[in-house]
Structure formats: C-alpha cells, structure tokens
Homo-oligomer: A and B are copies of this chain.
Amino acid sequence: MARKTGSHSRNTAPKVRDAALRLFARFGYAAVSMRRIAAEVGVQAGALYAYTPDKQSLLFELMNGHMKTLLKTAAIPRPRGDILNQIDNFTRVHIEFHLKRPDATFVAYMELRNLDAANFAVIEQLRRTYEDRLESLIIAGRESGLLTVPDSKLAVMAVIAMLTGVNTWFRDDGRLDRAGIVAIYQDMIRRALGAQN
C-alpha cells in the first residue's frame, strides 16, 4: 500500500493497450492521436508515456503480442492424425482465433506499413513462421499422395488469404454461425488442395 496519491495504475496498462487497439482498428494508427487514446483511458496524454516510450512502440507491442499468441495457439500439439485432419484443424483454429480478435487481426494486417523498419522485420518473420507451418502440412500431404497441389507456396498464400478474409465479412448475427463457416471452409480448402476425399 505504498501507493502515492493519484496512483491508480493497477489497471491502466491493459486499458491503454485495449484503447489503442480499438482506436487503431477503427480509425487507423496515423489518424489516432495520443490525446484520443488518453481520453479513452481516462487520463491525460502525458500519462501514457509511463506505459510506452512512444506511439510506435505501442503499435509494435500490439502486433507482436498478436502474432506471438497466434503462433502459440496454432502450435500443432499432436503430430498424430492424418494430414487432412491436420489441415482441417489449421482451418478451424485460424478462423476461430481471428474471429475472436477482430481488432487485433485488422491492425496486424492494415498497419504493417506504419511499423518502422526494425519492427517490421520482426513481425514479418513471425508471419513467415506461421505460413511455413501450413506449407509443411501441404508438402507432407502432397508427398503422401493425399493432396494435388500445383505449387505449395501459392497454395499457402491462397489458403491464408481465404481464411483471413472471413474477418472482413463475418457478423455475429449473420446467416451462418462459426462452426458452419468452419465446416464450409474446411470443405473448400480440402478441394482447393486437391484432396481425394
């Protein structure tokens, strides 16, 4: 209880991150001022600099955290199960993960150009790691004769673009629920990859 007067920061750090994420997603990094983030949190602009050295770091931490969590969540825990099941699993996890985090997903895709060079390289590396995992599955599937893929790298790009695109049109009160969407995408992706199901 050695807290000074005016100090109620126990929840401020996550509030800053939440406010920044929400505002960056909605209006874009460049269009959001530190004053606006502060107002959303309920402090003055200067107080934000107790939590981040500058605006750029705030953006980077949000994107870096998002990518790290993605890689952790999408870690393949069990190498057992055949390749088609693993690809179905990738499809499901990708859709569920990103639909659960629309703001972070949007920021991670839209604000890449607002990262400085060093930060961009870090995020780019994480993105590549994620893509490589999917490519490994596709290559394994092709080698075992379960898939017919003309080009594994293009297949990766096509599948990830399809999947991430879900976030752009999904609505909670829409015609299909998440499980239904996952099932349809699993079907389309298996087919696109030439699965002999």
Contact surface of A with B, Cβ cutoff 8 Å: 26-31, 110, 113-114, 150-151, 153-155, 157-158, 160-162, 164-166, 168-169, 175-176, 181, 183-185, 187-189, 191-194
* A interface, over-half SS: helix
Output the residue of A26, A28, A29, A160 with the most chain B CB within 10 A.
A28
Contact among B113, B153, B162 for A27, CB-based, below 8 A: B113
Cross-chain contact A154 with B185 (CB below 8 angstroms): yes
Cross-chain contact B176 with A165 (CB below 8 angstroms): no
Contact among B28, B151, B160, B169 for A157, CB-based, below 8 A: B169
Closest CB-CB distance, A48 to chain B, in whole Å? Answer: 19
Copies of this chain held together in the complex: 2
Q: What 5 A-B pairs have minimum CB-CB distances, sorted nearest first? A: A161-B165, A30-B30, A192-B192, A30-B31, A158-B162
- 8 further contact pairs, Cβ within 8 A, besides A150-B184, A158-B188, A161-B161: A26-B113, A27-B113, A150-B188, A151-B184, A157-B169, A158-B185, A191-B191, A191-B192
Minimum CB distance partner of A156 in chain B: B169
A161 to B168, CA, bound (A): 10
Cross-chain contact A113 with B28 (CB below 8 angstroms): yes
Closest CB-CB distance, A127 to chain B, in whole Å? Answer: 11
